């Protein structure tokens, strides 16, 4: 896979005027704000998605997205990734075309048709249960025997701040970080969207051959990928992307949604929420997280969902 027009000159942050109000005073000023712009992702010239994102790592974002959707099995399915248009043209850098590798065709129509035509009936319809069943059928269950100590999880989540340089200046971006079991950082990204940040991080590993059929769940040095940490809430999409990449633990500083909990339970992922300081909530597959002096097991000793803990 090759990348063209890798640098578009688009910035991650800009400045906007404001009026600061406080202590009985008003003062005009300017502040740094995170850039949000649309990215149109095309596959062989056909638009498959438009997402609002922070410019940067667009190729990784596209790879991570296509991988999560099941359109590519790895970077070897992709020939080139290039921004459309020419520098200086309006909107340059906001359209990305992914071309199939020689001898292979990325089947984008399956996703396009699935989004354009939805059959309604009195049965399950478009609901969480069907989404979970379809994903488990496509990806299976994460079977890696990975376990982490609770304090190791907390440490990894705390370190998200180290990979948020733009957030530090604007307060306006989410972050995703993927760690190995030994705590080494494997990939990280910032974006205005939580799911975009995850796609960028997973896409970076995919581009390096660290995830996918050849080395599923292995980091760039052959170290097993263990945990995905996110700076916002854990939604269904976040857990979905972790399941496809075979990441066994997902940890968030905030709350999970009901579908995220259900999907994590079904796919063998330990889902942790409200990971702050030395406290966390463990919602599923409790056997994957070990506390000092306490061995976490599911009721029958199998690798299944453990009981949810109460909110802190």
Q: The domain that contains 69 carries what CATH number?
A: 3.10.20.10
Query: What is the reported pLDDT for 102?
Result: 85
Query: What is the reported pLDDT for 218?
Result: 56
Range of the domain at 51: 2-100
- Per the DSSP assignment, residues forming a β-bridge with 158 are none
Query: What is the reported pLDDT for 3?
Result: 64
Q: Please state, for a pLDDT cut of 70, what percent of the chain lies above it.
A: 79
| Alpha carbon distances (Å) from 55 to 17, 68, 237, 250 | 21, 20, 21, 25
Domain harbouring 163, CATH code:
3.40.140.10
**Domain contains 208:** yes
- Do 83 and 191 sit in the same domain of this protein? no
Rounded to the nearest 10 degrees, the angle between the axes of helix 128-139 and helix 258-267 is 30
Q: pTM of the prediction?
A: 0.81
- Do 144 and 217 sit in the same domain of this protein? yes
Instruction: Point out the residues of the chain with pLDDT beneath 70.
Output: 1-10, 110-128, 213-223, 292-312
- Do 267 and 158 sit in the same domain of this protein? yes
- Do 153 and 229 sit in the same domain of this protein? yes
| Domain's final residue, options 53, 83, 100 | 100
Query: What is the reported pLDDT for 98?
Result: 95
Q: Please state, for a pLDDT cut of 90, what percent of the chain lies above it.
A: 43
**Domain contains 307:** no
Query: Which has the closest alpha carbon to 181: 223, 145, 122?
Result: 223
Per-residue pLDDT of 103-115, as tens digits, reads: 888 887 765 555 5
Residues with catalytic function: 124
Query: What is the reported pLDDT for 138?
Result: 84
Tokens 């009936």 locate to: 121
Query: What is the reported pLDDT for 221?
Result: 47
What mean pLDDT value characterizes the chain?
A: 81
């Amino acid at each position: 896979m090759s990348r063209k027009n890798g640098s578009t000159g688009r910035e991650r942050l800009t400045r906007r005027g404001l009026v600061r109000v406080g202590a009985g005073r008003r003062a005009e000023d300017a502040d740094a704000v995170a850039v949000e712009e649309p990215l149109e992702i095309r596959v062989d010239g056909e638009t498959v998605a438009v997402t609002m994102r922070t410019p940067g790592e667009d190729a990784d974002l596209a790879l991570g997205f296509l991988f999560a959707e099941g359109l590519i099995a790895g970077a070897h399915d992709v020939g080139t990734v290039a921004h459309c248009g020419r520098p200086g043209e309006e909107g340059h850098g906001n359209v990305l075309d992914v071309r199939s590798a020689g001898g292979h065709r990325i089947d984008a129509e399956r996703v396009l048709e699935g989004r354009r035509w939805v059959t309604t009936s009195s049965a399950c319809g478009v609901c969480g249960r069907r989404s979970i069943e379809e994903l488990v059928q496509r990806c299976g269950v994460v079977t890696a025997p990975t376990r982490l100590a609770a304090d190791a999880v907390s440490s990894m989540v705390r370190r998200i701040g180290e990979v948020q340089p733009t957030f530090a200046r604007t307060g306006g971006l989410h972050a995703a970080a993927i760690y190995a079991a030994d705590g080494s950082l494997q990939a990280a990204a910032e974006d205005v969207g939580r799911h975009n940040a995850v796609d960028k991080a997973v896409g970076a590993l995919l581009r390096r051959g660290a995830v996918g059929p050849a080395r599923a769940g292995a980091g760039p040095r052959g170290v097993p990928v263990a945990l995905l940490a996110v700076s916002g809430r854990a939604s269904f999409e976040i857990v979905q992307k972790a399941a496809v990449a075979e990441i066994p633990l997902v940890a968030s500083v905030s709350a999970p949604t009901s579908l995220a909990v259900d999907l994590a339970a079904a796919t063998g992922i330990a889902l942790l929420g409200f990971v702050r300081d030395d406290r966390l909530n463990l919602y599923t597959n409790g056997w994957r997280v070990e506390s000092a002096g306490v061995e976490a097991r599911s009721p029958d000793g199998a690798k299944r969902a453990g009981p949810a803990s109460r909110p802190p």
